Structure 1
Amino acid sequence: MNWNIPNILTVIRLAAAPMVALMFLYFTRPYADWFALILFVSAAITDWFDGYLARSWRQETKLGAMLDPIADKAMVVIALMVIIGFSSWSGWLVLPATVILFREVFVSGLREFLGDTAGTLKVTKLAKWKTTLQMIAIAVLFSQGVFEHYFGMSIWGMDNEIVGQILSGEIPDVHGLGWKLTGAEWAGRIGLWLLWIAAALTLITGIDYFRKAMPHLKDDR
């Protein structure tokens, strides 16, 4: 096995995937949200760097080609699981997340079945955009958790009437409730919109891969 820098970055990204979930087991919120966001964004950045370095330095290997898509899928699947469990938008997240998870399992099964002919399912540019959009959406949704919990911490001990008066401008907003609530709402909305668009691209690429695999799925007569 060739342990060059691109492969090491890929392995680090793969190891970071379960760490995203562990942040919510060992830290309270919003610190868990912060750590998960930083960890996820850092890992997503390595996704671009390892591919760029492998091509630039001509260090593309079979190990890297095998681990890179696994690391991407692990990051996305585990992060979606965490977000659905903790996000206030979880009901609206279930459908796009289901589409994404189903497609990943389906395409992985196709590649495993095709074996040596799996090269017909090479990653397309649209699939790369799909992965990029998924990661941006997930990062934005993690940031929504940060805003949401700082807002919750700021209104601790206040009754609903006082909170309403602060948000309506009747009482000075010395704790920044307005921008924290606005940040939470818009991060949630934007992240959700991006995830639905990513789910649509995920469905399109999954259908494309199935179409390409069809000639190899026919029984010989």
Structure 2
Amino acid sequence: MSWNLPNILTLLRIGMIPVMALMFLLPYPWSNVIAAAIFGLAAVTDWLDGYLARLWHQTSPFGAFLDPVADKLIVAVALIAVLTANPSAALAFPVAVIIGREIAVSALREWMAELGLRASVAVGWLGKLKTTAQMVAILLLLYAGPVWVVSAFTVGFWLLYVAAGLTIYSMVLYLLAAWRAVDSQGEST
């Protein structure tokens, strides 16, 4: 493993996960604010570690593996914590869609890598848009307080549905890209 700043930021992000969940689930009026701040900091380190790794030419196989794992872990734990605190079928649906998609696409990427076709399921602009909507939604759901005259939870709830829609659409695009890549590889052999 390469001990560089981008990898250290990724490891710190993983370390933030249980702290964020614990803060969110504590019964104090300030716990949501702390949990949202930790999640926001984690989201910034997600962007920063990738940026620095490319800028300083410190990309590594370990970082390429660990970064998406850290992202999926913090998203899943945050969504489960929010659902635990606010159990409802209306919230469970987008949570299940998002977590299910993350597992399915991770498995798809691993399978495509085994076939030597990982580039055919690379992250595109739609994936980045989905991630942005998802991260902002989760941040608002964790905070859950008022923002001006609206409830952050309500805005986060509807934005989570937008993220779930983008999640389904991007998963379909990944599956189609994988299908075409596997199909064209079968034709060339």
Give the structure-2-normalised TM-score. Answer: 0.87
Instruction: Provide the aligned C-alpha RMSD in A.
Output: 2.3
1:194 aligned to 2:159?
yes
Distance 1:19 1:122 in 2: 31
1:134 & 1:220 partners in 2: Cα distance?
A: 36
Provide the C-alpha distance between the structure 2 equivalents of 1:72 and 1:220, rounded to a whole number of angstroms. Answer: 33
The letter of the residue matching 1:118 is R
Distance between the aligned counterparts of 1:142 and 1:19, measured in 2? 13
Say which SS state the counterpart of residue 123 (structure 1) adopts: coil
User: Which residue in the other structure is 1:208 paired with?
Assistant: 173
- 1:38-57 counterparts in 2 under 5 A? 38-57=37-56
Provide, for residues 143-195 of structure 1, a one-character-per-residue CA deviation record: whole Å limited to 9, x for no partner.
11xx3xxxxxxxxxxxxxxxxxxxxxxxxxxxxxxxx6986x62122101111
Q: Structure 1 pair 24/195, CA: closer, same or farther in 2 (3 Å)?
A: closer
C-alpha distance in 2, partners of 1:10/1:84? Answer: 25
Aligned to 1:98: 96
Larger radius of gyration: 1
1:65 corresponds in structure 2 to 64
The residue number in structure 2 matching 1:32 is: 31
On the 8 A contact 2:35/2:143 being kept in 1, the answer is no
Residue identity in the other structure for 1:97: V
Identical residues among aligned pairs (%): 41
CA contact (8 A) 2:24 2:142 kept: no
TM-score under structure 1 length normalisation = 0.75
**Aligned residue in 1 for 2:23:** 23
TM-fit CA distance, 1:68: 1.0
1:121 aligned onto 2:121: yes
Moved more, 70-79 or 114-123: 114-123
Q: Structure 2: any 5+ residue segments left out of the alignment?
A: none
Query: Contact 2:76–2:99 (CA<8 Å) still a contact in 1?
Result: yes
Q: Write the distance in 2 (CA, Å) between the matches of 1:5 and 1:74.
A: 20
**Cα gap change, 1:214 to 1:38, in 2 (>3 Å):** same
User: How far is the alpha carbon of 1:220 from its aligned partner?
Assistant: 6.0
1:111 counterpart letter in structure 2: R
How many residues are paired up?
184
Runs of 5+ unmatched residues, structure 1: 148-179
Deviations 1:90-134 (A, max 9, x none): 432111111111111111121222223223211111101211211
1:217 Cα deviation (Å)?
5.1
What is the rounded CA distance, in whole Å, between the counterparts of 2:126 and 2:152 in structure 1?
25
CA distance in 1, matches of 2:68, 2:147: 36
